[in-house]
């Protein structure tokens, strides 16, 4: 049977990068709830709204003109696989938020994706350099099943926070639970603290 996981002992420097309870994989599993959306780039938009001075909406072409960076980071899925050294290209969330200018009351963000998928994070967590609205992975455009055309990437949290097919960010004063968080997954989702389920 196909087994994506390595069984050999890892060299210690690699092992040190794998959080507790995780197993290294070199494949890239596909994981999501529901179907893969068919996206028409001519009609696609990305929005920032809620507690911002300037609500904004970009077309795909406009979004591509925002400053992009490359960032290499690790993926840790709560289903226990980790994939190291993913090379992402995209727009730092910081850049997008700087244009919309969050109001002082804004402390949380709900990411909205196709079909109503949501993921919630503290605003502060989205300001890190490694947090991107990514459109390329390892030098190629995202494939449909990995989030084409755009996904959120938040390397310091379990990967369910990294919404595929993301369409906007809503700025909030109070935290609002996302899709998996409502189903009992941990709100903070730090893989190094093994925050898998609420109560862990």
Ligand X SMILES: Nc1nc2c(c(=O)[nH]1)N[C@H]1C(S)=C(S)[C@@H](COP(=O)(O)O)O[C@H]1N2
Residue 25 binding: pick among ligand X, Mo ion, none (C-beta 5-8 Å cut-off by kind): none
Other Cβ atoms closer than 10 A to 171: 23
Give the separation between CA 78 and CA 138, rounded to whole angstroms.
22
* Position of minimal CB gap to Mo ion: 77
DSSP letters, 100-145, are H-B-TT--EEEEEEGGG-EEEEEGGGGGSTT-EEEEEETTEEPPGG
Nearer to ligand X, 67 or 116 (CB): 116
CB of 147 to ligand X, least distance (A): 6
Give the separation between CA 191 and CA 155, rounded to whole angstroms.
10
Nearer to ligand X, 53 or 200 (CB): 200
Residue 58 binding: pick among Mo ion, ligand X, none (C-beta 5-8 Å cut-off by kind): none
77 counts as binding Mo ion under rule CB under 5 A: yes
CB of 116 to ligand X, least distance (A): 9
Q: Is the dihedral of CA 3, 30, 89, 52 positive or negative?
A: negative
The HSE-up count of residue 73 (CA atoms within 13 Å, CB side) is: 23
3-state secondary structure of 159: helix
Given the rule CB under 6 A, which residues bind ligand X? 28-33, 77, 113, 117, 146-147, 159-160, 162-165
CB of 177 to Mo ion, least distance (A): 16
CB of 122 to Mo ion, least distance (A): 20
DSSP classification of residue 57:
E
Residue among 112, 119, 71, 76 nearest 95 (CA): 71
Nearer to Mo ion, 160 or 165 (CB): 160
Structure tokens at 42: 């001519």
Sites for Mo ion among residues 27-46 (CB under 5 A): 31
117 counts as binding Mo ion under rule CB under 5 A: no
148 counts as binding Mo ion under rule CB under 5 A: no
Residue 164 binding: pick among ligand X, Mo ion, none (C-beta 5-8 Å cut-off by kind): ligand X
CB of 147 to Mo ion, least distance (A): 13
Name the site residues for Mo ion (rule: CB under 5 A).
31, 77-78, 160
């Amino acid at each position: 049977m196909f087994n994506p996981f390595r069984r050999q002992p890892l060299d210690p420097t690699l092992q040190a990068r794998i959080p507790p309870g995780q197993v290294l994989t070199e494949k890239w599993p596909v994981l999501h709830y529901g179907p893969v959306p068919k996206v028409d780039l001519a009609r696609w938009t990305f929005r920032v709204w809620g507690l911002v001075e300037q609500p904004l909406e970009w077309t795909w072409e406009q979004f591509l003109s925002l400053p992009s960076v490359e960032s290499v980071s690790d993926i840790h899925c709560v289903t226990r696989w980790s994939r190291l050294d993913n090379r992402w290209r995209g727009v730092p969330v910081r850049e997008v938020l700087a244009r919309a200018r969050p109001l002082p009351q804004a402390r949380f963000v709900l990411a909205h994706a196709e079909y109503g998928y949501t993921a919630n994070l503290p605003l502060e967590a989205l300001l890190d350099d490694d947090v991107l609205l990514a459109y390329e992975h390892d030098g190629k455009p995202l494939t449909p099943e990995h989030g084409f055309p755009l996904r959120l990437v938040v390397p310091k949290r379990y990967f369910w926070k990294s919404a595929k097919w993301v369409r906007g960010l809503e700025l909030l004063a109070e935290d609002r639970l996302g899709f998996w968080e409502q189903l009992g997954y941990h709100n903070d989702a730090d893989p190094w603290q093994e925050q898998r389920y609420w109560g862990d």
